[in-house]
């Protein structure tokens, strides 16, 4: 625990409901609907050389997530776009993680939350890598989660919403306790879905295979990697994938704004090569985000 710098005790600024305030003053009351009932949506974005990669796409997704959760955000997309950049500029942050988020306030403390105020905030901090560089070069090891991604009738899967992460944290904790870096989650049908905070791709015979995002987040990085691969003439097959197929693949990697492209070297005993196609895509992604 010694090397942990708590997130409530840092220098810097956080933007909250229209004002840039000192980091340590950005507090909410313990009786907040967002905390008790998970009425909270958020974004995870990355800035490279002072500029957020696909900032507008992340802003669009935050607004969409809020709409899905019946929350009307009190600022415009244009305002949020400007705030994110200003927050980086004011703090001279170049390579950073950006977290924009919205939640329901304290006016009501029950399932019904019609009268709650919708809060909007943005924080940004230096965050070079989600998985360590060492982990990335060697490839990470994944557990297979026991929790299944719910069906589209059971959860608003297209929202990046706090409540959906309960089974992710549980799966990731169990994986980490067993020496894995993350966990691959089945969906409600038993198909492969994604990791706890990143999408997954496999390589076979020069083609990419990736699960169809019909019950989990279709990540912005996932969509970017599909475009990059197609531009390079690499076929991309989106389909339902089973765990029985895991031995058929040669390479594997995760994608996410935080994870970027992270090679996978093992899924619960099944080994993968950190191979040329994955490394080539890593390089192309690195170039694109800085272009």
**What is the set of active-site residues?**
160
Using CB under 6 A, count the residues that bind ligand PMP: 14
What is the closest distance, in whole angstroms, from the C-beta atom of residue 153 to ligand PMP in the complex? 19
Please report how close the Cβ of residue 11 comes to ligand PMP at its closest, in angstroms: 26
- Indicate which single residue of 33, 41, 44, 171 sits in contact with ligand PMP (rule: CB under 6 A): 44
Binding of ligand PMP by 221 (CB under 6 A): yes
> Which phi-psi region, left, alpha or beta, contains residue 38 (left: φ > 0; alpha: ψ -120 to 50)?
left
CB nearer ligand PMP, residue 169 or residue 178: 169
Q: Is 123 in the site for ligand PMP (CB under 6 A)?
A: no
Q: What is the DSSP string of 213-237?
A: -SSS---HHHHHHHHHHHHTT--EE
Applying the rule CB under 6 A, the residues between 222 and 241 that interact with ligand PMP are: 222
How many whole angstroms separate alpha carbon 263 and alpha carbon 282? 9
Q: Is 257 in the site for ligand PMP (CB under 6 A)?
A: yes
Residues 154-183 that bind ligand PMP (CB under 6 A): 160
Ranked by CB distance to ligand PMP, the top (closest) residue is: 219
Instruction: Assess contact for 172 and 182: CB atoms under 8 A.
Output: yes
Q: Decide if residue 98 touches ligand PMP (CB under 6 A).
A: no
CA dihedral 279, 281, 286, 288 (to 10 degrees): 160
Strand partners, 211: 239
Determine which residue in the list 220, 229, 264, 277 makes contact with ligand PMP, applying CB under 6 A.
Answer: 220
Q: What is the DSSP string of 52-103?
A: ETTHHHHHHHHHHHHHHTT---SS-HHHHHHHHHHHHHHTT-SSEEEEEEEE
256 touches ligand PMP (CB under 6 A):
yes
Tell me the CA distances in angstroms from 72 to 3, 35, 41, 56, 156, one per residue in order.
Answer: 39, 18, 12, 18, 16
Interaction between residue 41 and ligand PMP (CB under 6 A): no
* Cβ proximity of 71 and 104 under 8 Å: yes
Q: Residue 194 interacts with ligand PMP (CB under 6 A)?
A: yes
Is residue 197 at the binding interface for ligand PMP, with CB under 6 A as the rule?
yes
Q: Can you give the binding site for ligand PMP, defined by CB under 6 A?
A: 44, 160, 194, 197-199, 217, 219-222, 255-257
């Amino acid at each position: 625990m010694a090397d942990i710098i708590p997130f409530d005790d840092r220098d810097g600024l956080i933007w909250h409901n229209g004002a840039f305030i000192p980091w340590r003053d950005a507090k909410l009351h313990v009786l907040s609907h967002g905390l008790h009932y998970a009425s909270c949506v958020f974004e995870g974005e990355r800035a490279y050389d002072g500029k957020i990669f696909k900032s507008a796409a992340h802003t669009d997704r935050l607004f969409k997530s809020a709409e899905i959760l019946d929350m009307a955000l009190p600022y415009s997309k244009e305002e949020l776009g400007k705030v994110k950049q200003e927050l980086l500029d004011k703090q001279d942050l170049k390579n950073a993680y950006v977290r924009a988020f919205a939640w329901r306030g304290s006016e009501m403390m029950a399932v019904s939350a019609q009268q709650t105020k919708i809060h909007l905030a943005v924080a940004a901090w230096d965050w070079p890598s989600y998985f360590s560089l060492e982990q990335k070069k060697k490839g990470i090891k994944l557990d297979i989660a026991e929790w299944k991604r719910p069906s589209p009738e059971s959860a608003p899967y297209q929202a990046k919403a706090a409540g959906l992460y309960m089974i992710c944290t549980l799966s990731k904790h169990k994986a980490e306790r067993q020496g894995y870096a993350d966990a691959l989650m089945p969906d409600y049908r038993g198909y492969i879905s994604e990791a706890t905070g990143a999408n997954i791709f496999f390589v076979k015979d020069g083609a990419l295979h990736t699960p169809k995002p019909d019950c989990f987040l279709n990540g912005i990085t996932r969509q970017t990697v599909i475009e990059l691969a197609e531009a390079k003439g690499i076929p991309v097959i989106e389909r339902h994938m089973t765990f029985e197929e895991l031995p058929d693949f040669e390479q594997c990697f995760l994608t996410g704004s935080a994870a970027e492209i992270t090679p996978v070297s093992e899924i619960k005993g099944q080994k993968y090569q950190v191979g040329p196609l994955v490394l080539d895509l890593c390089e192309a992604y690195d170039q694109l985000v800085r272009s």
